[in-house]
Amino acid sequence: MLEPQSKQDVLGRLLADFKKIDKEGLSTHEGTFVFDTLSSNAVEFEKSYAEMQLILDAAFPQTAWGEYLTRHAEAHGVFRKAATQANVILTITGTANTIIPKGSLFSTDNDETFRTSKEVNLGDTGSAKVLALSEQLGKSLNVGANTITEIVGGIYGVSTVTNEAAAYDGYDEETDAELLDRLLLKVRKPATSGNVYHYEQWARLVNGVFLVKVIPLWNGPGTVKVIIINNERESASTELIEKVKAVIAENAPIGATVTVVTPTIFDINIELTVTKGKADIEAVKKVLNEEFKKQIFNGTYVSYANIGKAILANKETGVLDYRDLKVNKGITNINITNEQLPTIKEVIVHE
């Protein structure tokens, strides 16, 4: 087994070896010719040992990184997912019946640009909505609502543009951790003849899909339900669902009836009396929603006990102790299905 070697480790051995062959009794103290010569070599040997350790790490997928991990994955037919464009619905206003050409360009104040996906007519109302795609790629293009307000180059008959809702479905290139997870899924859970693992692998080919739950025979022979969660561990957009449908349609066995869905929001309301500390309601919501995201597809209920535990375990909530916790007006676990995504809607605090 290769072990790390420091400069001092190597230098000690070099000096010991030199003394074994030295017949002149030369000094090896620091500052002598022998010491300085061997010391400079020891520095390079230390670097070599470090490089050899990196070579060893790169040789195995679990410790490989970057291009080396990409090559391991490609050897098994798993390819790193590229970054994607963000989608956004633009509301354009101007002179009635003005035609906005496909590919018209709009942007934010920060020069994040979006092109319309099709030609659109402002009609008699002088207003229309149209899907636009970002020119750049990645998560950062999921710009907030009402930030796309610039008409690039000017378009005759158009006076204003905005996005009433945030952009969505812009995803960064697949990370090493995500790629390794898919690689190990393929290697450790062989997919054959349209089994559960096959559908999971097909769905996760689409960038933006983070978790997948496959339910075979859910509505009789030949039926398969595929439930997907996006990279933010939230409900997938309609566009993402359609992309997954298209990929599965290309690969699924003939005769299979496949339904692709995403969980819908299931409201969770909590009420408690804080007996020690001062609650930060937004922090409580954030902590609990993050906790719920960790449990997606891992249970059939929202744990009453875990809600209280999470509130106390995270200092950011500001709650040091409490009493009379109620979850959806009760003190029991809340049953959910794989098609429900529990999300904190309201937190009522009594102090």
Which pairing describes strands 158-162 and 319-327: parallel, antiparallel, or unpaired? unpaired
- Higher-scoring residue by pLDDT: 158, 51: 158
* pLDDT of 214 strictly over 80: yes
200 has pLDDT over 70: yes
Taking all residues of the chain, what is their mean pLDDT, rounded to a whole number?
A: 93
In the predicted model, is pLDDT for residue 1 greater than 60?
no
> What are the structure tokens assigned to 28, written together?
């090896």
Helix (H) or strand (E) holding 273: strand 264-277
Say whether pLDDT at 40 is over 90: no
Which tops the pLDDT comparison, 23 or 176?
176
* Percentage of the chain modeled with pLDDT above 90: 80
Segment 49-77 mean pLDDT:
92
What is the pLDDT, as a whole number, of residue 51? 80
Tens-place pLDDT, residues 104-139: 999 999 999 999 999 999 999 999 999 999 999 999
Asked whether the predicted pLDDT for residue 3 surpasses 80, the reply is: no
d(CA 120, CA 127): 10
In which region does residue 266 sit, left (phi positive, over 0), alpha (psi from -120 to 50) or beta (all else)? beta
Q: Look at residue 9 in the predicted model and tell me its pLDDT.
A: 77
What pLDDT shows up at residue 2?
65
What local confidence, expressed as pLDDT, does residue 249 receive?
95
Of the chain, the percentage scoring pLDDT greater than 70 comes to 99
Where does the pLDDT of residue 176 fall: very low under 50, low under 70, confident under 90, or very high at 90 and above? very high
Q: Which residue has the tokens 């794989």?
A: 338
Q: What is the CATH number of domain 189-261?
A: 3.30.300
Its pTM stands at 0.79
- Local confidence band at 50 (pLDDT 50, 70, 90 cut-offs): confident
Express each pLDDT in 314-349 by its tens digit: 999 999 999 999 999 999 999 999 999 999 999 999
β-strand partners of 330: 327
Rounded CA-CA distance 192/213 in Å is 17
Strand partners, 344: 268
How large is the angle between the packed helices 176-188 and 66-75, nearest 10 degrees?
Answer: 20
In whole angstroms, what is the distance from residue 154 CA to residue 313 CA?
54
Q: CA-based diameter of the chain, in Å?
A: 103
Q: How far apart are CA 308 and CA 51, in angstroms?
A: 49
